[in-house]
Amino acid sequence: MGQSSVQSSRVWERARRQHGVVTKEQLLDLGLNADAITYRLARGRLHPIHRAVYAVGRPDLTRLGRWSAAVLACSPDALLSHTSAAALWGLCQVEGSEVEVSVPYRRPKRHAGIRAHRRARLAADDHAEHERIPVTSPACTLVDIASRLDPDELGAAINGADRLELVDPEGLRLYLEGLGRRPGVGVIRRILDRRMFRLTDSELERRFLRLVRGAGLSRPLTQQRVNGFRVDFCWPDLGLVVETDGLRYHRTPAQQTRDRIRDQAHTAAGLVPLRFTHAQVKYGP
Query: Which amino acid makes up residue 152?
Result: D
Note if the pTM is more than 0.85: no
Q: What is the rounded distance in angstroms from the CA atom of residue 171 to the CA atom of residue 177?
A: 10
pLDDT digits (tens, 9 = 90+) for 44-81: 999 999 999 999 999 999 999 999 999 999 988 899 99
Query: Which amino acid makes up residue 231?
Result: V
Q: Dihedral sign for Cα 173, 176, 180, 186, please.
A: negative
pLDDT digits (tens, 9 = 90+) for 233-279: 999 999 999 988 765 444 567 777 888 898 999 999 999 999 888 77
- Calculate the alpha carbon distances from 28 to 33, 71, 72, 174, 186 in Å: 6, 19, 15, 44, 46
pLDDT score of 200: 67
Residues in the chain, how many?
285
pLDDT score of 208: 87
Q: What is the rounded distance in angstroms from the CA atom of residue 209 to the CA atom of residue 228?
A: 24
pLDDT score of 9: 87
Helix/strand/coil (H/E/C) assignment for every residue in 105-156: CCCCCCCCCEEEEEECCCCHHHEEEECCEEEECHHHHHHHHHCCCCHHHHHH
- Percent of the chain past pLDDT 70, that is, above it, reads 93
Whether 156 and 179 have beta carbons less than 8 Å apart is answered as no
Would you give the DSSP letter of residue 61?
A: -
Could you give phi then psi for residue 159, rounded to 5 degrees? -60, -40
Question: Treating both helix axes as pointing N-terminal to C-terminal, what angle do 138-146 and 185-195 enclose, rounded to 10 degrees?
Answer: 100
Q: What is the rounded distance in angstroms from the CA atom of residue 1 to the CA atom of residue 140?
A: 47
- Calculate the alpha carbon distances from 15 to 86, 136, 183, 250, 266 in Å: 24, 22, 36, 43, 58
pLDDT digits (tens, 9 = 90+) for 169-206: 888 888 998 888 888 999 998 888 776 656 667 777 88
pLDDT digits (tens, 9 = 90+) for 116-147: 998 877 788 899 999 999 999 999 999 999 99
pLDDT score of 21: 97
Whether the pLDDT of residue 33 is over 50: the answer is yes
